[in-house]
Amino acid sequence: MEKVTEYFGSMVFDDRIMKATLSEKVYKSLKRTIDRGTPLDISVANAVAAAMKDWAIELGATHYTHWFQPMTGVTAEKHDSFISPAPDGRVIMEFSGKELVKGEPDASSFPSGGLRATFEARGYTAWDPTSYAFIKDGTLYIPTAFCSYTGEALDKKVPLLRSMEALNKQAIRILKLFGNTSVKSVKTSVGPEQEYFLVDRDMWKKRKDLIMTGRTLFGAMPPKGQEMDDHYFGSIKPRVAEYMADLDRELWKLGILAKTKHNEVAPAQHELAPIYDTTNIAADHNQLTMEIMQKVALRHNLVCLLHEKPFAGVNGSGKHNNWSISTDAGENLLSPGETPAENAQFLLFLAAVIKAVDDYQDLLRLSVATAGNDHRLGANEAPPAVISIFLGDELTAVLDAIEADKPYGGTKKEKMQLGVDVLPKFSKDSTDRNRTSPFAFTGNKFEFRMLGSSNSISCANIHLNAAVAEVLKQFADKLEKAKDFNKALHDLIRKTIKDHKRIIFNGNGYDDSWIKEAEKRGLMNLKTTADAMPHICDKKNVDMLTSHGIFTEAEIFSRRDIMLENYVKTVNIEAVTMVDMARKEIIPAVAKFAADTASAVSVKKSVSKAACKYETKLVTELSELIDEMDAATTKLEAAIAKFKGISDIIKASEFVRDTMIPAMDKLRSAADKAETVTAEDYYPFPTYDKLLFGV
Ligand code: ADP
Ligand code: MG
């Protein structure tokens, strides 16, 4: 078998290939664009396109596509072949710099939230040279940004790049104040840990809910769930191991640093974590990872479920967004460092993150809000819907000492002085234990744990980068004017801790008492997408996002509408699917079982004097449950009909939250009760025990 070191990245037009196939002049010019964002000359684009094409054709590619991330949450592509007619009636393979740099897909069928009038259907895609092109299934993929013809972002990459740029700009200002004048760029990095479920494809095919919505809309708990804690890190079953090995190989070929794989808490649940990378590359790679996870599963007659809550009663799936900020020289700005000066700089960045998370709780919460993720957040498994930061006891004690102007640890007589004292070493252990916090400091990075497994990581990182950029800006504005830098720094950190310590919570986030405590502290508890999403249009958020050039006001309003539409449409599809399954599958199955049992009673009674107590009781119970299901279905049908008539998106989202979802819960509860008393042979589709333990 081929060695990993040989095939890793073999399908990627990466730095090594660029160096080998481009002239030195072209290579250097492209590198400047990649590293510093300098505009690309068309002659350079032509040379890069020619080299890319030759390389891709050598590896069997016949087509190319601009690959982008519209607001649908999945990626989009439109393939063009390289062929161009030759005078002799044959073809030559062509690919120009213009085709590499810009594409013009018809944008009219992608969500735009009213940004793009239907008469102005054109949109364009623009090459993102910072993310490598790659080959997949015989096509050269070119990562691109997607905009309307008037320049508004129609995707998730444009604002992500803008947010990284905003943070870069403000962080450099801060570093200058600490005497670092050689830094050229500051970038954020992300390592997203991806959770997923695997189910058998033959069983999956029998469940309309899984096919239509990616989750089970019905299903009683099996005798065994996750209570034995025997799945987490458990030994991996052969069929799953084969899948994981195949998946690693496909990801490695695409240069994706898939690193860790293990079983997760719920039965049939697993996790894959890559080595972290620059945020926009991590975002591209995570989209690819999700796509390839699903594709590879089919080869093993499995289906990979990326939904946040495929099964009620066992853990759902999330995506931990490990996030850090570092300089082009490789200095991690969230690492405490070794010297007093490094410590002071670290504390300032730490204070900035604390203030950013507190000031923009709503933006962080709504960046992960979807119909699917609403099933997790606040449901005693994932982090709660309330945002708080875990720092660990040691670091919290340091901040307490600074705030109180007291010595740290009680060993010294003098109070802590920034830039003079050395911080104690924080062991990773003491910062890494709390798994219930939505936003945890883990030694040299923050782990934002609220993302749903199917979310693009872009939205969360756009808002996180933007919020931190804004606070760094406020800090820089203040510190640049200070006469005594060390004193101003000390005062600023102290004041920030004092004003924002309410967001720090080191206890158990799953505990109900925390929610009450959080309320007392004035923290926001935005329970559902309908509650969270409208806050993106709050003045303070619009002002902040527009002032850093991350979104225009029109883009913000359009995004709110797109996300809310996604929410209501998702729930509506689920509701319609439930009605369909209840009317056509579940009620008929239970009714048939009831009828068969009833006719058994009459047969029995005709031959003996048996009382048939058991059967009679069962038929009565089944009949009652059928009536209950029928009534609940009728209610849900009425809700669906009413929903159709609501055109205002805010009202529609509130209706979904207040009426549709409760009606769905009622129907599910009746059907799940019926499942537990219906003979297995009668049940129309595979139940939880088979789905969860059937691989
Ligand atoms: P675990 O969560 O299992 O303890 P780690 O926290 O070490 O494991 O790593 C989880 C993820 O965090 C991985 O994707 C890893 O690459 C990423 N990661 C590690 N260091 C950083 C960093 N400085 N910045 C961003 N992500 C990081
Ligand atoms: Mg982790």
Query: Span 566-693: which CATH code?
Result: 1.20.120.1560
Q: Which pLDDT does position 94 carry in this prediction?
A: 95
Question: Residue 613 burial by CB count (10 A; 0-12/13-18/19+): exposed, middle or buried?
Answer: exposed
Nearby residues of 24 by Cβ (< 8 Å), 6 or more positions away: none
Q: According to the model, what pLDDT value does residue 99 have?
A: 94
Tokens 């029998």 correspond to 206
Residue 273 Cα: closest atom of ligand 1: 14
| Burial (CB count <10 Å: 0-12, 13-18, 19+), residue 143 | buried
Rounded to 5°, the CA angle 148-149-151 comes to 65
Q: Cβ distance 196 to 494 under 8 Å?
A: no
Q: How far is CA 305 from CA 194, 270, 297, in A?
A: 12, 10, 10
Residue 690 CB burial class (10 angstroms; 0-12, 13-18, ≥19): middle
DSSP secondary structure of 447-479:
EEEEEETTS-HHHHHHHHHHHHHHHHHHHHHHH
Tell me the pairing of strands 134-136 and 102-103. Answer: unpaired
Nearest ligand to residue 273 Cα = 1
What is the whole-number distance in angstroms between the Cα of residue 275 and the centre of ligand 1? Answer: 7
Q: How far is the CA of 46 from the centre of ligand 2 (A)?
A: 43
Q: Tokens representing 289?
A: 């990872």
Helix, strand or coil, per DSSP, at residue 125: strand
Task: Round to whole Å and give the CA distance between 661 and 673.
Answer: 18
Within 8 A by CB and 6+ apart from 230, the residues are none
Angle, CA of 556, 559 and 564, to the nearest 5°: 130
- Tokens matching residue 8: 């890793």
255 CB contacts (<8 Å, ≥6 apart)? 8, 9, 11, 12, 14, 132, 134
> Buried (b) or exposed (e) across 317-333, using 16+ Cβ within 10 A?
bbbbbbbbbbbeeebbb
**Which residues, in sequence order, are bridge partners of residue 373?**
none
Q: Is 142 helix (H, G, I), strand (E, B) or coil?
A: strand
Ligand 2 centroid to Cα of residue 435, in Å, is: 9
Read off the DSSP letter of residue 38.
Answer: P
CA of 320 to the centre of ligand 1 (A): 9
Q: Which residue bears the tokens 């009674």?
A: 605
Residue with tokens 């009413």: 642
H-helix or E-strand spanning residue 99:
helix 97-101
The answer to whether 536 touches 406, Cβ cutoff 8 Å, is no
Q: What tokens appear for 337 in the block?
A: 């460092």
Question: Which residues are within 8 A (CB) of 634 and not within 5 positions of it... i.e. 6 or more apart?
Answer: none
DSSP 608-644: S----HHHHHHHHHHHHHHHHHHHHHHHHHHHHHHHH
8 Å CB contact between 124 and 147 = yes
Rounding to the nearest 10 degrees, give the CA dihedral for residues 246, 251, 257, 261. -40
Distance CA 302, CA 491 (A): 58
Mean pLDDT by 10 residues, the chain (695 residues): 90 97 96 86 95 97 96 90 94 94 84 68 87 96 91 93 97 96 95 97 98 98 80 88 96 96 91 97 97 98 98 94 97 88 92 98 98 88 90 89 79 64 65 79 95 97 98 98 94 96 92 92 96 98 98 95 97 98 98 95 85 92 98 98 97 98 98 97 96 92
Q: In terms of DSSP H, where are the helices of 254-278?
A: none
| Dist. CA 96–CA 51, nearest whole Å | 10
Exposure b/e, 460-483, CB count within 10 A at least 16 = b: bbbbbbbbbbbbbbbbbeebeeee
Q: How many CB atoms lie within 10 A of CB 56?
A: 25
Which of 455, 432, 391, 445 has the alpha carbon at shortest distance from 188? 445
> How many CB atoms lie under 10 A from the CB of residue 611?
11
Domain boundaries, the chain: 4-155, 166-187+332-550, 194-217+226-317, 566-693
| Torsions phi, psi for 693 (to 5 deg) | -120, 15
Taking CA atoms only, the protein residue closest to ligand 1 atom 17 is 191
302: left (phi over 0), alpha (psi -120 to 50) or beta: beta
How high is the pLDDT of residue 148?
A: 87
| Structure-block tokens of residue 375 | 């099933």
Class of domain 194-217+226-317: alpha beta
Whole-number Å distance, alpha carbon 348 to ligand 1 midpoint, is 22
pTM: 0.95
How many residues would you count in the chain? 695
Report the C-alpha gap between 695 and 688 in whole angstroms. 12
| pLDDT for position 512 | 86
Looking at residue 228, what is its pLDDT?
77
Q: What are phi and psi of 193, to 5 degrees?
A: -85, 120
Distance in Å from the first CA to the final CA of the chain: 27
The CATH number, out of the four listed (3.40.190.170, 3.40.109.10, 3.90.1310.10, 3.10.20.70), of the domain defined by the range 4-155: 3.10.20.70
371 and 307 in contact (C-beta within 8 Å)? no
For the stretch 479-483, contacts whose Cβ atoms lie closer than 8 Å and that sit 24 or more positions apart, written own/partner, are 479/174, 479/177, 480/173, 480/177
Closest atom of ligand 1 to 275 CA is: 16
Cα atoms found within 13 Å of the Cα of residue 344, Cβ hemisphere only: 22
Helix (H) or strand (E) holding 102: strand 102-103
Atom of ligand 1 nearest to the CA of 322: 26
Q: What is the DSSP string of 362-411?
A: HHHHHHT--TTGGGTTTSSSS--SB--EE--HHHHHHHHHHHHT--STTT
Counting from 1 in the atom list of ligand 1, the atom nearest the Cα of 274 is: 14
For the stretch 236-288, pLDDT in tens is 999 999 999 999 999 999 999 999 999 988 899 999 999 999 999 999 999 99
Residues in contact with ligand 1 by the CB-under-6-Å rule are: 189-191, 193, 273-276, 322-324, 332, 432, 442, 444-445
**Ligand 1: nearest atom to the Cα of 191:** 14
Ligand closest to Cα of 332 equals 1
Identify the residue whose C-alpha is closest to ligand 1 atom 14.
191
Copy the structure tokens of residue 403. 């705030």
DSSP state of 200: E
Cα distance between residue 168 and residue 395, in whole Å: 26
- Ligand 2 centroid to residue 591 C-alpha, Å: 49
Q: Are 468 and 366 in contact (CB under 8 A)?
A: no
Q: Which of 256, 322, 429, 457 to mutate to test the pocket of ligand 1 (most atoms within 8 A of CB)?
A: 322
Give the Å distances, CA to CA, from 146 to 9, 60, 138, 565: 26, 27, 23, 20
Q: What are phi and psi of 550, to 5 degrees?
A: -85, -40
Residue 383 backbone dihedrals phi, psi, to 5 degrees: -60, 155
Tokens of 626: 């059928």
The one-character DSSP state at 582 is I
Closest by CA to 130, choosing from 340, 287, 284, is 284
